[in-house]
Amino acid sequence: MKCVLVTGPVDRAAEYADAARRAGWDAIEFPLLRVRARELACSAVELAACELDCVTSSNALPALARARELAPGARPFVVVGAATRDRARELGFAPVAVAADAHDLANRVLALAPRPKRVFWPRGDQSDEFARALRANGVQVLDPIVYATERVAHQAPPPPADVVFFASPSAVRAWCELSGATRHSARVAIAIGGTTHDALRGATGAAFSAILSLPEPGSRAFERELAHLTTPP
């Protein structure tokens, strides 16, 4: 049976592994990252001045909940990905829009009429690309770091597989530093989205002959991709 190594997403790798099995693949969970929450360091005055809340990862949702306790209001709320949308709804939030990735979200925010002058974006410690895109177009961004991504230490090389699935650029970087990664049996990598796909293409320690990208984030898209990948290149 064909095998896929599922390296993430953090806290949801089991969901993607189950999707792989439904597609007829064996799946091995091999986490590369873990997330640690940080306290929200913003004042009620700063938060109240924001006109729009943006979330690009479900890891930021607890910070959003805290922000709305500090500065209650009816600010619109936009997210990246159906999974983050669903988790937000479970917490009682109602996103007004769902973007495919951070780049798509930035374009959506900039296309709003009227365009918000100040945006709240609780984020991780790995990238500020979304904030930079907005600031370059005159939008102020309150972007506290509310979670940190850490690498998982592995004493042994990753187990053999036909395909490796990556859910973030951080996971790609962690993979490239693993012992044995350049000699791994998998020749195919699947990226959760565009930024992860770009990270794989630019990685010097990832020896994949084919790099695929999901048409949209989510375990159902992953399941469909594997169902069509009958013979790994």
Q: Is residue 15 predicted with pLDDT exceeding 60?
A: yes
Long-range Cβ contacts of 72-78 (<8 Å, 24+ apart) = 73/48, 75/50, 75/51, 75/120, 76/51, 76/52, 77/52, 77/53, 78/52, 78/53, 78/54, 78/105, 78/108, 78/109
Q: Which CATH class is domain 37-148?
A: alpha beta
Task: Give the tens place of pLDDT for each residue, 61-80.
Answer: 999 999 999 999 888 999 99
Mean pLDDT of the chain: 92
Task: Give the tens place of pLDDT for each residue, 154-186.
Answer: 888 899 999 999 998 899 999 999 988 888 999
Q: Supply the pTM of this predicted model.
A: 0.78
Q: Is 47 helix (H, G, I), strand (E, B) or coil?
A: helix
Q: How high is the pLDDT of residue 230?
A: 65
Contact 33, 151 (CB under 8 A): yes
Task: Give the tens place of pLDDT for each residue, 187-218.
Answer: 999 999 888 999 999 987 778 999 999 988 78
* Radius of gyration of the chain from its Cα atoms, rounded to whole angstroms: 18
The domain ranges of the chain are: 37-148
